Structures are given as C-alpha cells and as structure tokens.
Amino acid sequence: DKELDRAMVAHTDTHTDTAVGNGVDAVVEKVCSDELPVHSLERELGDCARAVLVRREWLKRQPGVASAEAVGRVPHEGFDYDAVHGACAEMVFGYIPLPVGVAGPLLLNGKTYQVPLATVEGALIASTRRGCKAITAAGGASAAVLSQGMTRAPVIRFPSAIRAAAFAAWMHDPANLAVAQEQFATTTRFGRLTSCRVTVAGRYAYARFVCATGDAMGMNMVSKGVSAVLDFLSAGSFGDLELLGLSGNVCCDKKAAAVNWISGRGCSVVAEATIPGHVVESVLKTTVSAACELNVAKNLIGSAMAGALGGFNAHASNIVTALYLACGQDAAQNVESSQCITLLEPANGGADLHVSVTMPSIEVGTVGGGTILAPQRACLEMLGVAGAGQEAGSHARELATVVAGAVLAGELSLLAALSAGHLMRAHLAHNRKPAAP
C-alpha cells in the first residue's frame, strides 16, 4: 500500500503539470505575453480548476521562483476551487494540506466534544488531549460567554478638535445612537449596532462601533453598516467629517491591543474546572502546589516582566490557531483571540486544583469565510456548530466556549509538564524523527 501511495504521488507530480493539454499551453502563452490577465483567469476562462492549471504553468516561468519543479509539487487536484473563488483566496495555484488531529473527549458544559486541531507542532495535540482527559475525569469544565460583539473603528478627521469632541458627544447620546442604529440596519438582516464609543485625539475621532453579527464573525457586515452610518452623518449634521480610513486601529483587528483586553471583541469567554488532587497526580503527573507555584512565576510574574499585553498564559495561541485552521476561521485573528489570563489556585483546602482561563476577544464565526470550505465545515459539523444556530449567534458562542475549553486543557497540560520537568521529554517523543541510518 505504501508503494502504491508513493507511485500515485509521483504520478501526480510528473503528469498533471507537464502534460496539461486541453489547450492550456496556448492559454499560458497568452498569460505570459500579458494578453490575458493572470489575476482574473477564473472569470476569463469560466473554469476555476482550469484557471489553476494555467496559473501553475505561468508561475513556473516567473522570476522569483527558485524551482519550477517545486511548483509542481504543491498539490492542486481534488479541491473545490469554485468555493474558493471570490470568497477565500486570489491567485490560487494549489493548496497546502495540513494534518488534523483530535483532542478529546472534552466534557464542557455537560456536552462531550472531540476537538479538531490542525497543526505541524508535534506534541501539541497529545498534550491538549491529556488536558482534556484530566478535565473530563474531573467531571468536566464550565464556560460562559460574557459578551458578544464585533467592532469596527473608523478614523475621522474634523476641522478642529472641538468639532471632533462635538461628534463624540453626539454619538454618546442614546437618542442619536438610535438614529445610527436605524442607518446601520438598512444594510443587513442579521447585524445590529449595539453601542459606539468615540476616542478623540486632537482633530481625529475614532468611533468604535460594537455590533451583533449573528453566527458570522462579521467584519464585512460591520464595515458595510458603519459605512452607511458615516454616509448619513456626512450628509447631515457632520458634513465637515473627513473619513480617512474605515479602520483606524482602535477596532482593534489582528493586533495585540489593550482595548480588546479591556473591552472585548468577538466573544468574551471564561472557562473553569476543578481537578481533584488524585487526577492531578495520576493524569497530569504533577502536584497541586507545583502547578500553582509555576503558574504564578511564569504566567503572572514572568509575563509582567516581559511587558505582556494579554499574554498571561502558557501557550493559548497554540490551541487557538490549530482550532482556527481546522474550522475555517481567520487564522490571523489568533493575535487578539489568544489574549488570555490563566489562573491556578488550590481548592478544597489545597487538596484539589482550580484552573480558569479568561479570554476577552475570541473572534469566531460558523457561517461565511473559510467555513464554506468542505473540510473546514466538516470539522464544525464534528463539533455540532456548523452554519447558523436556531438562535442568532448561538453556534458562534458555542464555538467560542469550545475554544476556551480547549485552551483550558492545553494550559493545564503544559503547566503540568513544565512543573514536573516533562516538557522536553514529550517533545523528543512526539516532535522529532529519528536520524536516518
């Protein structure tokens, strides 16, 4: 079977890109001579899969490609490029397979999950699975969504600081917010403007709009609604406003920022579990006191000494990113979604271990974006949260709690391994191939 697999891979590498046929060579020549724009092949050819074939041949001839043969080794067959086009990526010439493993069972809020994680870091899934085992053996974890709302904060310039202040005062008036909400609602059936807070810096005003977006992560929905609000204001009471950018970095998207840490973005979630002392010792191979002592020294004091912003944890981003990749989320949003404080305390007179994670800005959606791709949707279906929930936003909230629960498991296991001195041993076992003879 292994020999057959290798033969099939070799056939794919040598056949599909060197004998493209079906008129592809002629199209490639047109692309290389700039008669046909390479960026719009899907539209020009009316065939997304054929567009990928042409683009691969074009790419092999381009400066900046050190190895044309390497292009042929990037897989491209068996993928739904129609789903990708206009939704997920541009200039597509193939796809990158990622191994997907499972961590579980994780008992969370009375429901059992097997959590899909896509990663190339050996030992990560095994470690998270051990944390899941400890949590489930302890009777499970609990998680709650504290708030839910996607944000967008355009940067607006006024002729004077006083006018910027007047705009802030107008937006902070509940009656005027209701007017803005009406304008926002004209652009969407699912989104709803819930609040707005304006920060003023001289002549610049940064209006941070907070919006309910149902089960979508919602950035596009929010941007469209905010644009409608600003168009309305510029045509009326604030004709002197100058929109410099729809995002003014107070949102704050894909950057570590105190505003997300304090005010939240997406879903703000807290998760906790109490692990009996015997489970700490038998499953996690450490002690309550050792784990608690390390957490203070590492995640609290160490992170403070490093000047961390929302980084008071061991490796929350590992689990967040792996789950995001598996479930079709925006992987770049791991930056703020991984903001987390992990707390460990002795419980029941020191016999047991209480562990919690608080994550104020988990940005997830179960509709739109990468969730439309079949493998990623399948991972959401595994969790029971694919598509829109019966109640608006319920699937997104449940997915956010799964993220927090998985992070809780990952934190618990890594801190245990570190406190017991087992980390390097685990990585040598799971993250290293033996040297070739």
- Regarding beta strands 266-275 and 142-152, do their DSSP bridges make them parallel or antiparallel, or are they unpaired? antiparallel
Q: Find residue 112's DSSP bridge partners.
A: 107
Print burial letters for 175-188: b (CB count within 10 Å at least 16), e (below 16).
eebebbbebbeebb
For residue 349, the SS3 value is coil
Q: Provide the token pair at 329.
A: 């989320």
Catalytic annotation, pick one of 30, 111, 224, 254? 254
Q: How far apart are CA 409 and CA 114, in angstroms?
A: 12
* Annotation says 17 is catalytic: no
**What are the DSSP calls for 75-104, one per residue?**
--TT--HHHHTTTT-SS--------EEEEE
Give pLDDT, residue 267: 98
Sign of CA dihedral 128, 132, 135, 141: positive
Write out the chain's pLDDT in tens, 437 residues: 433 344 334 334 433 444 344 578 899 999 999 999 999 999 999 999 999 999 999 999 999 999 999 999 999 999 999 999 999 999 999 999 999 999 999 999 999 999 999 999 999 999 999 999 999 999 999 999 999 999 999 999 999 999 999 999 999 999 999 999 999 999 999 999 999 999 999 999 999 999 999 999 999 999 999 999 999 999 999 999 999 999 999 999 999 999 999 999 999 999 999 999 999 999 999 999 999 999 999 999 999 999 999 999 999 999 999 999 999 999 999 999 999 999 999 999 999 999 999 999 999 999 999 999 999 999 999 999 999 999 999 999 999 999 999 999 999 999 999 999 865 565 556 666 665 55
Catalytic annotation, pick one of 13, 47, 80, 121? 121
* Annotation says 121 is catalytic: yes
Instruction: For residue 102, give the nearest of 265, 323, 250, 268 by alpha carbon.
Output: 323
Q: Which amino acid is at 221?
A: M
- H helix runs in 85-204, sequence order: 124-137, 161-172, 174-185
Q: Find residue 118's DSSP bridge partners.
A: 100
Instruction: For residue 362, give the nearest of 146, 120, 130 by alpha carbon.
Output: 146
Give pLDDT, residue 64: 96
What letter does residue 302 receive in the DSSP assignment? I
What lies within 8 Å, CB to CB, of 65 at 6+ separation is 59, 71
* Annotation says 330 is catalytic: yes
Assess contact for 76 and 53: CB atoms under 8 A.
Answer: yes
For residue 141, the SS3 value is strand
Assess contact for 384 and 349: CB atoms under 8 A.
Answer: no
Q: How far apart are CA 366 and CA 387, in angstroms?
A: 5
Assess contact for 364 and 380: CB atoms under 8 A.
Answer: no
Cα radius of gyration rounded to whole Å, the chain: 25
Q: How far apart are CA 247 and CA 245, in angstroms?
A: 5
For residue 274, the SS3 value is strand
Q: How far apart are CA 47 and CA 50, in angstroms?
A: 5
* Annotation says 57 is catalytic: no
Query: 161-172 vs 174-185: helix axis angle to the nearest 10?
Result: 80
Q: How far apart are CA 72 and CA 65, in angstroms?
A: 12
Instruction: Count other C-beta atoms under 10 Å from residue 255's C-beta.
Output: 13
Q: Find residue 274's DSSP bridge partners.
A: 354
